[in-house]
Structure 1
């Protein structure tokens, strides 16, 4: 392909993309294909000769698209949305075209310096103290792993990387029983181990970690000769939106000199709205590490996760490795590859810059406020359905419910809804029962999209009786 053909097809694909988004409401949200159906349509061996892009695009339409779940569909109510606003998509086109590997300042100074400013713009938007700096990670999983590795190294006097962990004893990390599975995985990968990830019960209307039980667990571990290493708090947990009392958890951590990480991957975006701070953000100042995902609720195309750091040095002490070929001569600069696990880095800051400039914080706040309002309205509508039960009240734009019947009936309804195609939901587990989870967060959804879900749920439920 030469550059003239590239320009021709670039225009065609942009037109295809605009048409795709304009017609998303006409498509089923979840892919309707059976396992293996897509792979069966692909040749078993690669071609030896070149093929024209017209043939490739034709196969893309007929083979690939039927097997895609449409995450940008305005009636995507499963998981948490991975939004892609038009400005962030255009920024990604530029990033893909320039195709820079932005691991060091010198490998693309603009990427490094725009990243620093964008992290600070978001720090201001979330009303974090000026002491915080940070880095753009690919996902909250990577940020959490970075924080857990830092907990490990700090607790071992930064000797774990050098010596290994065989003689370090039991390093303990504490969290609530509502944390995301990425916290478990971080404990695995960091060598902490599942048995040393101490999960504390939750209570209250926001399912906050029991701080007295947290304090007791730490005291018991110290008495047993274990080494407490850190605490992970949550704001807006994935299951039902569980949110800890951040100030109380931080006080326990400070009393024991423990490193702290706050997982606000989803709900952190809503903190650009000051009215949510009292319930979800008070006490945040002082956490050593905080992560939130602009690629969820703010509209920055996946992947884009911000890790704020009160002091970056402990994480640098944990992750920085500097062979001769990566050293930068001259004036002191920031090399963000030293702040993260991967060496290679994409220019993720550009899409944040485009996004915030094109919508402004007020435009982004309006979307989030609408989503919270509409989720509450839908929750009340489902509450009025005969035999249906709200199992967790709305926390921001997330709630859960049950239809009449057993756990098997919950799964039967979820499967039928997703096969129907008009909306997409997922099941969850809460207080020992299967529930149906509903979250509003797709960037372009409307109130009509959200409220239609009530009619679809009622219609499908009637059909499967």
Structure 2
């Protein structure tokens, strides 16, 4: 392909993309294909000679698209969204076109310096103190792993990377039982082990489902007496399952007294903290945490992948992850090399997506979208509450709530599967206090009140049919 052909097909694909998004509401949300159906349509070996682009694009539409679940669909109410606002998509196009590997300042000074400013714009939007700096990671999983590795190194006097963990004792990480499984995986990868991830029971204050601070303190005390080595605490604001949130001030106070490193997982709900009215409930004490992560690629509309990790002091993470072979050293003035802040050496120019997004919409428009999603989720919750035999299991936390239809756990799964096969909306199931629940969240960037409220009609209709 020459560059004239590239320009021609670039325009064609841009037009296709605009039409795709404008007509998304007419498609089933979830892919309706059976396992193996897509693979069966592909040749078993790669072609020996090149093929025409029109043939490739035709196969994309005929083979690939029927097997895609449409995450940008306005009635995608499953998981949390991985949004893609149009300005962010355009930025992604430019990032892919320039194709820079932004591992060091010198390999693309603009990428490094824009990243520093964008992290600070978001810091101000979330009303964090100016001592926080940060870095853009690919996902919250990577940010959490970075924090857990930092906990490990800090607790071992920064000897674990050199000497391994043999003879260091049982390092212990503490968290709520409501945390995302990425915390479990981080403990696996860091060599701490599942058995040393101490999950604390939840309290019963309102509907926060928060980590019990008394149990937390008790477990830390018991572990020290048993000769274990407490290393850190991971708190949540807006847990994935039901939106659980911890009382951050209380956890931070325990961490300060016990000299433990702290990480706050606000991957989904952190975006809502650009709205001042939510901070008094969900954000008090966040400014006392050593590490905080939130995903602009969820609720703010940045193209996936784009996760921001704030650090009250970058030193411990740099001491954990920095490695400088001769070929990566930078001479001259002191600069920031973000590859020293993260696990991967390679880095994409993710900050450009945030720059385009914030400039195109402004913070107030993004706040309005989040506020709408919260209001519409609450309105839908009341509609479902009025349905005969339905039960609201967990009340809305921001734009997330869970419910049950009449019947046992098998009935819940039947309804979820039937709704997703119907295609008009997409939901997922979950577990809460030993019971299967149906999970509903509002957060797709282009969704409307009509899209959200249509879910009540679909749920009632499909439920009656089964």
Report the TM-score when normalising by structure 2: 0.99
Write the distance in 1 (CA, Å) between the matches of 2:257 and 2:404.
Answer: 41
Q: CA deviation at 1:444?
A: 0.4
**Equivalence for 2:35:** 35
SS in 2 for 1:232: strand
SS in 1 for 2:308: strand
Write the distance in 2 (CA, Å) between the matches of 1:283 and 1:98.
Answer: 41
SS in 2 for 1:416: helix
1:83 paired with 2:79, answer no
Q: CA deviation at 1:321?
A: 0.2
List aligned pairs for 1:31-430, cutoff 5 A. Answer: 31-204=31-204, 205-430=207-432
Write the distance in 2 (CA, Å) between the matches of 1:66 and 1:400.
Answer: 30
**Equivalence for 2:438:** 436
SS in 1 for 2:91: helix
Write the distance in 2 (CA, Å) between the matches of 1:191 and 1:99.
Answer: 34
Write the distance in 1 (CA, Å) between the matches of 2:125 and 2:248.
Answer: 19
Write the distance in 2 (CA, Å) between the matches of 1:2 and 1:203.
Answer: 62
Write the distance in 2 (CA, Å) between the matches of 1:49 and 1:353.
Answer: 41
- For residues 159-181 of structure 1, the C-alpha deviation after alignment (integer angstroms, 9 at most, x for no partner) is 00000001111000000000000
Report the TM-score when normalising by structure 1: 1.00
Q: CA deviation at 1:100?
A: 0.2
Q: CA deviation at 1:43?
A: 0.2
Write the distance in 1 (CA, Å) between the matches of 2:454 and 2:273.
Answer: 28
Write the distance in 2 (CA, Å) between the matches of 1:142 and 1:450.
Answer: 32
- For residues 367-397 of structure 1, the C-alpha deviation after alignment (integer angstroms, 9 at most, x for no partner) is 0000000000000000000000000000000
Q: CA deviation at 1:322?
A: 0.2
Write the distance in 1 (CA, Å) between the matches of 2:187 and 2:431.
Answer: 22
List aligned pairs for 1:437-456, cutoff 5 A. Answer: 437-456=439-458
Q: Following superposition, which runs of at least 4 residues in structure 1 exceed 2 angstroms of deviation?
A: none
Q: CA deviation at 1:203?
A: 1.8
Write the distance in 2 (CA, Å) between the matches of 1:88 and 1:224.
Answer: 51
Q: CA deviation at 1:116?
A: 0.1
Unaligned 5+ residue runs, structure 2? none
Write the distance in 1 (CA, Å) between the matches of 2:261 and 2:343.
Answer: 19
SS in 2 for 1:315: helix
Write the distance in 1 (CA, Å) between the matches of 2:92 and 2:286.
Answer: 32
- For residues 373-426 of structure 1, the C-alpha deviation after alignment (integer angstroms, 9 at most, x for no partner) is 000000000000000000000000000000000100000000000000000000
Write the distance in 1 (CA, Å) between the matches of 2:88 and 2:15.
Answer: 17
Write the distance in 2 (CA, Å) between the matches of 1:82 and 1:171.
Answer: 34
Write the distance in 2 (CA, Å) between the matches of 1:249 and 1:408.
Answer: 38
SS in 2 for 1:141: helix
Write the distance in 1 (CA, Å) between the matches of 2:62 and 2:128.
Answer: 48
Write the distance in 1 (CA, Å) between the matches of 2:142 and 2:371.
Answer: 29
SS in 1 for 2:281: helix
SS in 2 for 1:342: coil
Write the distance in 2 (CA, Å) between the matches of 1:91 and 1:314.
Answer: 32
SS in 2 for 1:380: helix
SS in 1 for 2:30: coil
**Equivalence for 1:19:** 19
Write the distance in 2 (CA, Å) between the matches of 1:57 and 1:341.
Answer: 36
Unaligned 5+ residue runs, structure 1? none
- For residues 306-328 of structure 1, the C-alpha deviation after alignment (integer angstroms, 9 at most, x for no partner) is 00000000000000000000000
